[in-house]
Structure 1
Amino acid sequence: MISTLYFFALLSSAMAWGHVGLWKERSARNETEDGSGDRCACDAFLPGSTFPLRDLVVVEQTAVEIYHKLELELGKLENYETKLTEYSEKIIKLTVEVEKIEKNPDAYNEADKDEIKVKIKQVEALAKELQLSIRSSTTIFRSLRVQVTAMEETLTRLEKTYDKNVVLATRREYIKVQMQLEECERRHQELFNPNIGSCAHTGIIKVGKPVVSHLNAHLNAGYKFGGWGRDSKPVPDRESMYWYSGYTSSSIVDIRFYTNYNSLILRNHFQHHNLHSGWYGTGNNFIIRDNTLYYQINSPFGLAKLNFTTMRYESRVIAKASTRFSYANSPNQNFDFAADETGLWVTYATAESSGRMVIAKINEPSFGVEEEWQTSVFKPGVNNAFMVCGVLYAVRTVDIQTDEIFYKYDTRTRQESYISVPFVRFQEKYSNLDYNPTDQKLYMYNDGYYVNYHLWFNHTTKATVAPPYRRT
């Protein structure tokens, strides 16, 4: 028989960790061991193991340390911005002085030329110093990303095994750190990635690990259909804006806008538009471009756009496009909108093409098709596709954890090829995968979660910067 003191000690322990519900009365009547006497009996279902408080404390301490490091790195980034501005001004002035000397060398003596040489060497030294600082920050961000990932794994393990409410406070600290790290990485990339917006490469060579931001704004894993991301051609003052739309089916019923990444994570939207009667869409390969939603409609079957600045709605029908062919894992994805460095695109399949994907270039002002390209890839065998620098990339499943970019079609050269660029999925299925040229990332809506991937390109002097798209 359990002693009274020990019994209440166990009960107190269970209550402290939220396990009061694990205690239940065996009988509503008194009974003895032989069934006729006077004894109250209870069954006690105690946790199988002690809550690992040490793990939670370590995560909290790590969160504090990382947050302080990120505060320091943000300060460095601000300093980098100032230095970049100063160095740019010095380089411009030096360029002007050198041009003057080249045009009229006889007007300058050797002392003048030596002075210019000294200034050039000074700027070179400053540039090297800044380059070393940038590399140092990059190394720190990679290290912190590893720590943050480990924190996420620990918290997820604790939430699966123990009461989520116990872990909630630490989870908030983790989210705070994650947002700060994302902000640092974003600013670092925007400052020091000269290739953003450039097509001076020969294609994708690597996809980064999945960066999982959060469960959707509805906090509902049942919202498996939808999309999220950034505006591919943001209007002024909305460069940092994010958007999200999700639902339990492939219908598009509303959309939310967030001023920045922090607001997205905190689910604090500044605009919420319901696509009321007449504006409903379907499929999940919609995008936001120039503060305009481009998406698929079924009545009539075709393309639609809704400008959120003017609230003007337009639709177009592509007669050859078929409702029979969708992506492998998602229904009703007959039209797939995409945006890249060269403009706006849409892909679909036709009965005439026997289900093979067709690429179409969209004229944004007129919302008409400018030109089409026929590919040889069968759409129902593809999970999703996206455009980068006028090149279509198609994705398929490799195994339960891996997808791969397996096919590309270059609209400039009309050449297609099979490639293999694997990447890891966070969850089993995804309904939306789009490239954004403003940060060169892939945005995936993965079974209700916001996920993104960094892309690496094969930069080469043989490739040229893609000019604005021109019909040929």
Structure 2
Amino acid sequence: MNNVPCKFIVTIRPKEGWQVYSSAQDADGRCICTVVAPEQNLCSRDAKTRQLRQLLEKIQNMSQSIEVLNLRTQRDFQYVMKMESQMKGLRSKFRQIESNRRTVDELKGKMNELQPLIPVLEQYKTDATLISQFKEEIRNLSLVLTAIQEEIGAYDYEELQQRVLGLEGRLRNCMNKLTCGKLMKITGPITVKTSGTRFGAWMTDPQASPKNNKVWYMDSYTNNKIVREYKSVSDFVSGVESRTYNLPFHWAGTNHMVYNGSLYYNKYQSNIIVRYSFESGRVMTQRALESAGFHNVYPYTWGGFSDIDLMADELGLWAIYATNQNAGNIVISQLDPQTIQVLNSWNTEYSKRNAGESFMICGTLYITNSHLTGAKVYYSYSTKTSTYEYMDIPIHNQYFHMSMLDYNARDRALYGWNNGHQVLFNVTLFHIIQTDDES
């Protein structure tokens, strides 16, 4: 571990306005980082390089202003030329004043025409003064830039560039380690759309490529087999469907998951999990989740056949349910996405019927204490350490009834169905990472 502080702050203002990275080093030399969103940025240059960049930007802006003023002066010059020719015409008119009364009237008309040119002349003088001031300031700035360049001294441009690239590389390495963390805060929601019944699910595929932003929409918690697909969130908002799928079996609940191109859902009136491929349009696998309660035996607090909750995070695909063997308390099982076989299971001591909703982040299950107003994340269970913790993280239940809440690892956001409103929540994660940079 080096003794060089790794403290840096990078602020990002993206489309939704929620993505911020920050990092600092604790007393033991560990890099402690907080992340709100997935986008990454490069570190700032050192103070001198930043000052150079700011001055160069200022010169560029001033050069643009000079160009604008120059165009204005060219335009005004055309007016002046026009006025000069008219003035010459006036001289000959004056010579005829004594002999021709009509000429006097014509002269008055010409004078009225020339009246608007007076402000033009004044503006021309002002622009010429401003141009002189700009040129003087640019000369001064050039002197400042030269002084800074001399002060940098031994560092030529190539060496400075290599230093900056090295710092950026170290920052990227640190950010790449910020894939997982502990939930610290939930903000929002952002209301994406209002549609459907009080209960339903909407989602994107966390395993999809960045260019694939398809949205899937499943209204109601029972008596439905129709999945609606949209090419993007904007199409979803405007209601432009790209395709619909008629599933072979009705679903139960609202806790479905799209993962790596397949839909995973609980088959109605059973503890069977179905894997349906959108590409082939058929069921690839279906398997019973052994001992799992179903059909409102162990639902969430709102009911709705929500006994089995399928979800995904950075570590894979999961099923959350309850069994008689675990006294109705929540069981966490990690699933093989291809075969739906249980890879590992953890028994918690939290009653499934007392849970409002739940979601997985980085192998930790977070449970809310209610689906109604005043809900908060109350309990968490880490599959890494097989330990639990009581928490107090509020979640704003804006529309008073939450029937679906799932984490998307690609977006690092919570998707929710809130009383007929499709909403997004932002999450803040806390990270402790050990740096391995010894330089």
Structure 2 length-normalised TM: 0.59
1:299-323 CA-partner distances (Å, limit 9, x unpaired): 5432111111122312111231122
Q: Contact 1:196/1:439 (CA < 8 Å) preserved in 2?
A: no
The equivalent of 2:320 in structure 1 is 347
Distance 2:414 2:435 in 1: 22
Distance 1:237 1:271 in 2: 20
Distance 1:298 1:195, change over 3 A: farther
The equivalent of 1:371 in structure 2 is 344
Distance 1:206 1:193, change over 3 A: farther
SS of residue matched to 1:460: strand
Q: CA deviation at 1:294?
A: 0.6
Q: Contact 2:249/2:268 (CA < 8 Å) preserved in 1?
A: no
SS of residue matched to 2:213: coil
Is 2:352 aligned against 1:382?
no
1:303-349 CA-partner distances (Å, limit 9, x unpaired): 11111112231211123112211000132111100100010000110
Distance 1:282 1:195, change over 3 A: farther
Distance 1:364 1:251, change over 3 A: same
Q: Contact 2:253/2:305 (CA < 8 Å) preserved in 1?
A: yes
1:427-456 CA-partner distances (Å, limit 9, x unpaired): 111211100000110000111111110000
The equivalent of 1:232 in structure 2 is 206
Q: CA deviation at 1:194?
A: 8.2
Identical counterparts, % of pairs: 23
User: Aligned AA for 2:341?
Assistant: G
Q: CA deviation at 1:119?
A: 2.5
Distance 1:122 1:461, change over 3 A: closer
The equivalent of 1:306 in structure 2 is 276
The equivalent of 2:254 in structure 1 is 284
1:66-116 CA-partner distances (Å, limit 9, x unpaired): xxxx99x9xxxxxxx9x97xx9xxxxxxxxxxxxxxxxxxxxxxx999665
User: Aligned AA for 1:432?
Assistant: M
For residues 199-348 of structure 1, the aligned pairs below 5 Å read: 199-201=179-181, 203-216=182-195, 220=196, 223-234=197-208, 236=209, 239-247=212-220, 249-275=221-247, 278-298=248-268, 300-313=270-283, 314-323=285-294, 324-348=297-321
The equivalent of 1:120 in structure 2 is 162
Q: Contact 1:226/1:250 (CA < 8 Å) preserved in 2?
A: no
Q: CA deviation at 1:238?
A: 5.6
SS of residue matched to 1:426: coil
Distance 1:309 1:200 in 2: 30
Q: Contact 1:433/1:445 (CA < 8 Å) preserved in 2?
A: yes
Q: CA deviation at 1:200?
A: 4.2
Q: CA deviation at 1:370?
A: 0.9
The equivalent of 2:416 in structure 1 is 444
SS of residue matched to 1:451: strand
The equivalent of 1:106 in structure 2 is none
Distance 1:226 1:196 in 2: 34
Structure 1 length-normalised TM: 0.55
The equivalent of 2:102 in structure 1 is none
1:384-436 CA-partner distances (Å, limit 9, x unpaired): 111111111111139x6321111111111111111111111121112111000
For residues 126-145 of structure 1, the aligned pairs below 5 Å read: none
User: Aligned AA for 2:299?
Assistant: S
Distance 1:195 1:230 in 2: 24
Distance 1:339 1:239 in 2: 18
User: Aligned AA for 1:225?
Assistant: F
Name structure 1 gaps, 5 residues minimum: 1-69, 74-80, 88-110, 132-191, 465-472
The equivalent of 1:176 in structure 2 is none
Distance 1:200 1:327 in 2: 27
Distance 2:366 2:435 in 1: 18
Name structure 2 gaps, 5 residues minimum: 1-13, 18-38, 46-152
Higher relative contact order (CA 8 A, sep 6+): 2
SS of residue matched to 1:457: strand
For residues 101-180 of structure 1, the aligned pairs below 5 Å read: 116-120=158-162
| Counterpart among 366, 375, 388 of residue 393 in structure 1 | 366
Distance 1:372 1:253, change over 3 A: same
User: Aligned AA for 1:120?
Assistant: Q
User: Aligned AA for 2:427?
Assistant: L
Q: CA deviation at 1:252?
A: 3.9
Distance 2:343 2:164 in 1: 51
Distance 1:215 1:351, change over 3 A: same
Q: Contact 2:180/2:362 (CA < 8 Å) preserved in 1?
A: no
Of Structure 1 and Structure 2, the greater helix share is in 1
The equivalent of 2:122 in structure 1 is none
The equivalent of 1:460 in structure 2 is 432
User: Aligned AA for 2:161?
Assistant: K
Distance 1:196 1:424, change over 3 A: farther
The equivalent of 2:24 in structure 1 is none
Distance 1:460 1:251, change over 3 A: farther
Distance 1:426 1:354 in 2: 33
Distance 2:176 2:418 in 1: 25
Distance 2:303 2:393 in 1: 22
